[in-house]
Amino acid sequence: MSEATTRPVEDLALHEGPAPPARYRGEAPGLTQRIENYRLRAAVVENAHLARGGAIPDDALGLVSSDALRLGGHPHLIDAQVRTLRGDGPHAPTSLVFLGEDSPQRRFEARIADFVGMEGAVLCQSGWTANVGLLQTIAERGTPVYIDLHAHASLWEGIQVAGADPHPFRHNNIRSLARRIRNHGPGIVIVDAVYSATGSVCPLADVTRLCRDTGCILVVDESHSMGLHGNRGNGLVAEKGLLGEVDYITFSLAKTFVSRGGVVMGPDRVMEFFRFESRQAIFSAAAPLPHDIAGMGAALDLVENDTWRRQRVTQSAAWLRRELGVLGFDTAISQTKIVPLVAGSDLEVLRLLVALEQRGLFGLPFVSPATPVDKGLIRLTVHCDLLAADLERVVDICREARAELGWPLPFAGTQAAAG
Ligand SMILES: Cc1ncc(COP(=O)(O)O)c(C=O)c1O
């Protein structure tokens, strides 16, 4: 791969630099220390090709985007957006609280709620504000909130904003969750359907059963499953037949739906209250504009109609996870389009990143706080346009990278046995 893509690992600043001066402008001493700590951890991300501003070369494989169905730039989306921009007259941004019943926003909300199978929906500025706004709306000071340790940062933020009591439980561990509920009483349980760093899937049937038995309210973030799971792409909760058991579903539209926005879904009564209670609905006017919403609607058309895209992602991801597992990567933690190449320490993540980029494979590096410390990884995201030859190339590159880094390779014959 081209010289420009990577620098030798030895050049990379993973060591401590000179001691910082006593005082930087605008920084109290505590902030200076935090920035120095961040600079060490950020070395991995800073040295990643994409973070340095490089584009993925034409002859390389980019498995970096959450656009798994490859809807970005689809003519159906662009036409819908342009038509709306040209035909609908000027639109000034306004707060959610002021949007009328007949606005494009409210029509999209009705459509998405119907598509997923929930009673009501509210369209928000982002997945982040959807989660923070929801927790701020449904939790109160002192409410016990049980949250999976790997749940998305926006959900933790929501707990903090609400002043509720967080009780984290071990990742995907029902016994740990049950113990916490026993100790602190009924409250709100929060999980992601699919976890963004490793692609692990929540045991939703067990979680819903426990919530029912203990009288807990359940929030599921479907950012990485909406559009990809479920018969119609309507999510993992629907796929598992658990719609009646889940109180709230949220998701980011910045993944499969390639749009700027987020959705909160739940009972109509609470959704109505959300519009008047969540602070970003009242105090932020940066709501999606009609042409944004036209793009979301067009993306939803494609999610509903182009089933082949979803099927291709599922098949390709299953093949890739199996083959990379045979090579020695711990891919069994994922059952989704997210294929994690777990490397370990920040330095190992960086070494693997460089080895892959030099051979023309681009993934996204994840280190603490996005993963537990020393469980850093490169995230590959499978998309529907990958051909069999592309997938084989990914495996070849990963095999060569392991050999270069001196990581154990499979015994001869293992691969054939694994089929
Ligand atoms: C699981 C999950 N929830 C919420 C979000 C936040 O969504 P957005 O990027 O739309 O703010 C993300 C995005 O990174 C996510 O991965």
Q: Report the distance separating Cα 136 and Cα 147, nearest Å.
A: 15
Q: Is 288 in the pocket of ligand 1 (CB under 6 A)?
A: no
Q: Report the distance separating Cα 403 and Cα 355, nearest Å.
A: 10
Average confidence score pLDDT of the chain: 89
* The one-letter amino acid at 74: H
Q: Is 280 in the pocket of ligand 1 (CB under 6 A)?
A: no
Query: Given this chain, do its domains 45-69+307-418 and 75-305 carry the same CATH topology?
Result: no
Q: Is 67 in the pocket of ligand 1 (CB under 6 A)?
A: no
In the reported structure, the alpha carbon of residue 249 is separated from the centroid of ligand 1 by a whole-number distance in angstroms of: 13
Q: Is 128 in the pocket of ligand 1 (CB under 6 A)?
A: yes
Identify the pLDDT of residue 419: 30
Q: Is 156 in the pocket of ligand 1 (CB under 6 A)?
A: no
* The one-letter amino acid at 77: L
Query: Which residue among 252, 253, 338, 364 has the greatest number of ligand 1 atoms within 8 angstroms of its CB, and so is best to mutate?
Result: 252
* The one-letter amino acid at 411: F
In the reported structure, the alpha carbon of residue 193 is separated from the centroid of ligand 1 by a whole-number distance in angstroms of: 12
Parallel, antiparallel or unpaired: strands 376-381 and 361-362: unpaired
In the reported structure, the alpha carbon of residue 127 is separated from the centroid of ligand 1 by a whole-number distance in angstroms of: 5
Query: Which residue among 134, 154, 156 has the greatest number of ligand 1 atoms within 8 angstroms of its CB, and so is best to mutate?
Result: 154
Predicted TM-score (pTM) of this structure: 0.89
Q: Is 192 in the pocket of ligand 1 (CB under 6 A)?
A: yes
Identify the pLDDT of residue 413: 46
Mean pLDDT split into 10-residue runs, the chain, 419 residues: 43 52 78 79 65 77 95 97 84 76 91 98 97 97 97 97 98 98 98 96 98 98 97 97 98 97 97 93 90 97 97 97 94 93 91 94 89 91 97 97 89 43
Distance of CA 50 to the CA centre of its chain: 18
Domain 75-305 top-level CATH class? alpha beta
Q: Report the distance separating Cα 126 and Cα 194, nearest Å.
A: 18
In the reported structure, the alpha carbon of residue 45 is separated from the centroid of ligand 1 by a whole-number distance in angstroms of: 18
Domain ranges of the chain: 45-69+307-418, 75-305
Q: Which atom of ligand 1 sits closest to the CA of residue 224?
A: 1
- Residue appearing with tokens 């990577």: 6
Q: Is 222 in the pocket of ligand 1 (CB under 6 A)?
A: no
Instruction: Give the CATH fold of the 45-69+307-418 domain.
Output: Aspartate Aminotransferase, domain 1 (3.90.1150)
What's 70's DSSP letter? -
Q: Is 309 in the pocket of ligand 1 (CB under 6 A)?
A: no
Helix (H, G, I), strand (E, B) or coil at 207: helix
Of residues 69, 61, 32, 64, the one with CA closest to residue 50: 64
Identify the pLDDT of residue 98: 75
In the reported structure, the alpha carbon of residue 12 is separated from the centroid of ligand 1 by a whole-number distance in angstroms of: 30
Q: Is 362 in the pocket of ligand 1 (CB under 6 A)?
A: no
Q: Which atom of ligand 1 sits closest to the CA of residue 196?
A: 16
Identify the pLDDT of residue 96: 77
For the stretch 377-387, pLDDT in tens is 999 999 999 99
Helix axes 307-327, 290-305, angle to 10 degrees: 70
In the reported structure, the alpha carbon of residue 258 is separated from the centroid of ligand 1 by a whole-number distance in angstroms of: 12
How many beta carbons lie within 10 A of that of residue 128, not counting itself?
A: 19
Nearest CA to ligand 1 atom 16: 196
